[in-house]
Structure formats: structure tokens, C-alpha cells
Amino acid sequence: MRRAARPDRMASADDDGARDIDAGAVVADLLTWYDKSARLLPWRSPPGIAADPYHVWLSEIMLQQTTVKAVIPYYAKFLDRWPTVTALAAADIEAVMAAWAGLGYYSRARNLHACAKAVAEAHQGHFPADEATLLALPGIGSYTAAAIAAIAFDARATAVDGNIERVVARLFAVEEALPAAKPRIKALAARLTPHPRAGDYTQAMMDLGASICSPRSPSCLVCPVRRHCAAHARGIAETLPVKAKKGEKPHRFGAAFLAMRADGAVLLRRRPPKGLLGGMLEVPSTVWGPSMPDRGAALADAPFPAKWHPLAGIVRHTFTHFDLDLAVYRADGLPIGGQPPGGVWYPRASLAAEAIPSVMRKVLSHGLGQELGEE
């Protein structure tokens, strides 16, 4: 079995105040545990085996702001449909958006396609191995660039996601609140990163944070690096990392208009390519503002004059930065023929396969009286 190089021992008198720690011993204990206990994930290669850069990149983009459980079926579907980055680059963007529907943060899907095209065209279908070149690709930030470099190419790159951030904050008992503590945590994490086996180490840290060093009630008794952990020694592991208090999440309100043609087709329109839900299909709606529009104000923003009647109940959806309540108005039996400005009529049977975001699927399900599945 390959052994990780031992990073330099940290002295307690260093400039960031880190306690004395044998980084090499931390890494050795962590990798011994990982070799026996690594999570089996569809995009992950066994410890010590080189990973496919396309698989690593695809999974890392999908996992942003999303859970492993939610990502697995999407990852399998993408890989089955587009088994290589060049196949994904050649795909129609609308097909990619439709396959992504339900994962949220839809700008990621556009960037995913743009990145695939850049890799296919500028890098002959091969992901670059260094962080700087990876960082220049669409949709790849500092964390993702480091994760790909480490996991796919075993470069000594330091990726710090939420799990790793929590582990490092506890190992060194960093009591400064996030997000101000992020630079220090990143610097401490970089001192731990070994070479070789940087990729296994990165995934081991992710697994440790996901399965043992959890946000609440960490399982310190079974932690492979417990003997090195300053927070455990001081009995403060559950309190770290400290997070600055967030302000109350804003609440927005609006009205959506479900237009039904006599043949059952539904009117949808496409949102602007930039901004929230960029480029996705939506049920026409009012501006989302600080209060629920009354009937008169809502109907003034309807896509066209019709006999709009309000439906009972409210559609509620939570975005990362705000909560949304939508009242739904419906107009039935509209004449066949004609295309309202900016809108397209979609057969009701085709809706489940379209690139429609979750909030709009909720509106359609509410207005149609049935669940609208996601592909």
C-alpha cells in the first residue's frame, strides 16, 4: 500500500497560533481509516486507483449545494446518456437542461455544458491537470479546481468544502467565526495536504466530515484522528466551527398564471439566460415582491386578458436566499392557434420531460391537480 508523504510538523509558536501537531501522523491515521472505510460512491475509484477526471468533475458540479443521495440518480443518467466529456459537449443545451431539471441552481447546468465544450475544443477532450488551468474553465471555482486536481491527478491541491472546513476547524480548535475564519482554515488545511495520495486524503476528509465529524453530535469515540484533535481535547468539538449569525431570510410573494388551451396544451415561457433560474421554462408570473399582490394587481400582470380564476391554496418554495409564496390563477378552454408574445404552448403530456425547475413543477402540479414527475 502506498504511504503518504509526511507534511512538516507544525510548531505551536507559528504565526497563526496553531497548536503543535504532527501533520504526518494525522494523515497516516486518516488514510489507514480511509483504506478500510471509504464510502462506495459511483464516481469514486478505490483508494490508490486513479480516478476518471470526467467523473470527478461531473460529480463535483452536481454535488454543489446538493446531497449525495439526490445526485446519484442524476449522475447515473448523465453518464449513461453522455459517457464522455466530448459526448456532453456535442449535446443540445436544451437536452442537458431537461436532464438537469430538479437538481436546482440551473446556471450550473449551463456552465456544465460550456465547460464540456471548452474541454473538448481547447483541450482536445482531456481535462487539464493543474489548478490554474482548471480554474479558467466555465463553472469551475477554487474548490472544484482543487478537488479535480487532487482526486483525478493526485496533485498536492487543497480542496476545502463544508465537511473539510469543519474537520480542520475542530482539529486546530479554530474559534474565530465563519466566514472570517475561512482563510485561516484553508491555510491550516493546506499544511495537512500530503503528496502522494492527495486525492485519497481529500476524499478521506470529506468522508470523515460526512460520517463521523458531523455538524451536531460528532462521533469522537470512533474518529480516526481523535488523538490529534484540539477541540476534542478541550471538549468543544460540538461548538465548532463557530458561524456568524445570519439575518432573517426574506420572504417574497407573487402570482403565477396557468393558461390551458382547449386541447390541453399549457403556456410556458423561457426566463432570461442570466439570473435566478436562468434559461429555464416557467409558468408566466408577476414580479416576486415583498407582499402578495391582490387580484387586481395580479391580473394587471397576466400574460394576456382571459377569464382568470384563483385556485385555492398557495404554492410555497424555498430558495437558498429567500422563501417564495405564489398564488395561482388558471384560465381554461383557450382557443387553439396563436402564440402569445414570449410564450410557447406545450402539450400536457410532454411537461414531465421538459427543463422545468422545481418551483414551476409545483405550480403545474397545483394547477393541474396532479403530481408532475421529474425526469
> Could you list the active site residues?
60
- Answer for the pair 335, 262: CB distance below 8 angstroms, yes or no: yes
3 vs 165: CA distance, rounded Å: 24
Secondary structure element (H or E) that encloses residue 165, with its range: helix 162-171
> Cell for 160?
476545502
359 vs 165: CA distance, rounded Å: 31
Torsion over CA: 347, 350, 355, 357 (sign): positive
201 vs 157: CA distance, rounded Å: 10
370 vs 33: CA distance, rounded Å: 48
Among 132, 108, 11, smallest CA distance to 57 is for 108
267 vs 257: CA distance, rounded Å: 9
Q: Cβ-count burial of 236 within 10 angstroms (0-12 exposed, 13-18 middle, 19+ buried)? A: middle
- Answer for the pair 37, 29: CB distance below 8 angstroms, yes or no: no
Strands 323-334 and 251-261: parallel
158 vs 202: CA distance, rounded Å: 8
Nearest-10 crossing angle of helices 198-211, 162-171: 90
Secondary structure of residue 334 in the 3-state scheme: strand
Torsion over CA: 101, 107, 112, 113 (sign): positive
Rg (CA), the chain: 25
How many Å from the N-terminal Cα to the C-terminal Cα in the chain?
42
DSSP 18: P
335 vs 260: CA distance, rounded Å: 9
Torsion, Cα 334 335 339 341, to 10 degrees, reads -50
